[in-house]
Amino acid sequence: MKRVIHTTAAGLLACCMLTPWAWGWEMFPVSPAGNTQSRPSVSGDIVVWQEFLGDYWDIYGVDLADDPEGLIAVVAFDDADQTRPSIWGSQVAWEDNFEGFLDIWVSDISDTDNIVRYPLPLFDTDQAFPRIHGNTVVWQDLFVDPDTGQSDWDIYAADITDPNAVIYPVAVYEGDQKRPDVYRSRIVWQDDFADVEDILAADLWRRNDPEVSLVSAVDTPQTFPATDGRYVIWQEDFDEEVVGLYGADVSDPANPVEFFIAEAYGQEVNPRLSGHLVIWQDNRSGFWDIYGHNLITGLTFQITGDEFNQTRPDIDGRLVVFEDDMDEVGTIYAIELDGPEVADCPTPVPGDVTGNCRVGLEDLAILAANWLVDGLSE
């Protein structure tokens, strides 16, 4: 299947004219401790991550608004590994291997003096890669056929409105459904039902009968999807040396409109998005740097760039967090983006046909091509 990509002149220009690194953005450590820190997740001003102390990974967090140098508390700890945290508001979901398998747990950190921690139902197979938004937690769940011993990954979700979570299946098909993400009632994942990973989505406004839709299906693997409800983005693995980023506007799930984000010689991986801003890690320079893309203006810009590696980014609003190896151990750093590169368009401009928040020649060409054309019916 061949791809049909919708883009604008501004987007085509921006893909090839990258802004130089450092627009005055200050990169600062979130909570340096001398221990290895990894896999940050951010919601508002709160950042959580996994940190290795002694023999195990624990989960820590900090509120950058209230106490930029003090820990919220230990979000999760035990004589086992707590890994891959995902935060929304005051709720944190993570993996825990205390029982010998990976299980999904949740912490409510709204009262940092009395953090509530509880597991979702425990199974004797792995549950991995949790994501959370609102009262919904999603993850990939390993199913093992008791008769054949064959296994595959499925997608499940939980409503955590209260600790007596309601568990329900999202995608339990043949093949592997993996790497889910969630925004309100929309869940996306990568699915190899057709023998190559494609991007699928489900709207869970009816839990007992979710509306599943195809976001994108081509002949190259599409993996690591992320969504903010309107947009879905993912990485596309052309070969071992080139991994690009694509996206789709899924405002109409039955007719997703795909678009190009980034492709250079190298790898653009681990994409995340918040509203109109997409970020990812990029090794076109020989080191891993963090790049960004503005879905409104079509501008691609470099966020970090030095002889160290910045990886596993996350974003909420304009706050970007990531791992950095300049301290020889992984440390979580953050940058607050501002300036024209990240400009929003809260008030649409009259005559802006292309939706890039400015009126230009491309808008005029579209208007001229459709002069006196109408959609009236008798």
Closest CA to 59 of 71, 51, 69: 51
Asked, for residue 374, whether it belongs to a domain, the answer is no
Q: How far apart are CA 331 and CA 309, in angstroms?
A: 11
Asked, for residue 276, whether it belongs to a domain, the answer is yes
Asked, for residue 186, whether it belongs to a domain, the answer is yes
Rounded mean pLDDT, 120-127: 89
In the chain, the number of structural domains is: 1
Asked, for residue 98, whether it belongs to a domain, the answer is yes
> Is residue 182 within 8 Å of 132, Cβ to Cβ?
yes
Asked, for residue 340, whether it belongs to a domain, the answer is yes
- Please list the alpha-helical segments (H only) found in 213-369: 361-369
Asked, for residue 243, whether it belongs to a domain, the answer is yes
The predicted-structure confidence for 67-83, as pLDDT tens digits, reads as follows 655 667 789 888 999 99
Q: How far apart are CA 289 and CA 209, in angstroms?
A: 42
> What 3-state DSSP class applies to 39?
strand
Least confident of 82-91, 168-177, 277-286, 338-347: 338-347
Q: Is the pLDDT of residue 21 over 70?
A: no
Q: What CATH number corresponds to the domain at position 295?
A: 2.120.10.30
> Is residue 267 within 8 Å of 280, Cβ to Cβ?
no
Asked, for residue 375, whether it belongs to a domain, the answer is no
Q: What is the pLDDT of residue 189?
A: 98
Domain that holds residue 136: 9-369
Least confident of 59-73, 110-124, 237-251, 271-285: 59-73
Q: What is the pLDDT of residue 346?
A: 61
Asked, for residue 223, whether it belongs to a domain, the answer is yes
Say which DSSP state 16 is in: H
Q: How far apart are CA 92 and CA 137, in angstroms?
A: 9
Rounded mean pLDDT, 121-125: 86
> Residue 304, CB half-sphere, CA atoms under 13 Å: how many?
31
Q: How far apart are CA 101 and CA 4, in angstroms?
A: 42
